[in-house]
Amino acid sequence: FISGLMLANRRHLPHSVDWRDRGLVTPVKDQKNCDCGWAFSATGSLEGQHFKKTQNLVKLSEQQLVDCSGRQGNSGCTGGSVDNAFTYIENNGGIETQDSYPYRAKAGQCLYKPDNMIVTCTDFQDV
């Protein structure tokens, strides 16, 4: 909570938004026994933003975040934060799809391939 943060034109914000109704989210995913909801939250957010920009809905790699974002402060299957995930994606130049870096539900060696990056994050803001 930031007490000094004011949103412009608050009166024009809808009471609620369900991105499922707009086709902006991928199907439900299962993190299994890996405590990495932070990674699923980060990819879900970026999947929606990518779709809004390109009209192409892709499943992004939670596993890449689990395996590769330790330098940003995340701890694989034992916890992390969405902000740290976004910082990793921003610093790394992007994130792969789930097809090219599939989910294994356990932390492992970082195996991302720079040529497979499909979505980038150049900035983010907590609201």
pLDDT band at 125 (very low <50, low <70, confident <90, very high): confident
Residue 91 has pLDDT above 70, yes or no: yes
What percent of the chain has a predicted confidence (pLDDT) above 70?
91
CA dihedral 45, 38, 67, 125 (to 10 degrees): 50
Number of domains in the chain: 1
Indicate whether 3 pLDDT > 70: no
Residue 10 has what pLDDT?
A: 62
The residue among 71, 63, 72, 69 whose CA lies nearest residue 107 is 63
Q: What range does the domain containing 68 cover? A: 30-116
CATH at residue 80: 3.90.70.10
Neighbour tally for 117: CB within 10 Å: 17
Q: What is the pTM of this model?
A: 0.84
pLDDT tens, position by position, 54-90: 999 999 999 999 999 999 999 999 999 999 999 999 9
Q: Tell me whether residue 4 is in a domain.
A: no
Instruction: Tell whether 124 is covered by a domain.
Output: no
CB-based contact 118:97 (threshold 8 Å): yes
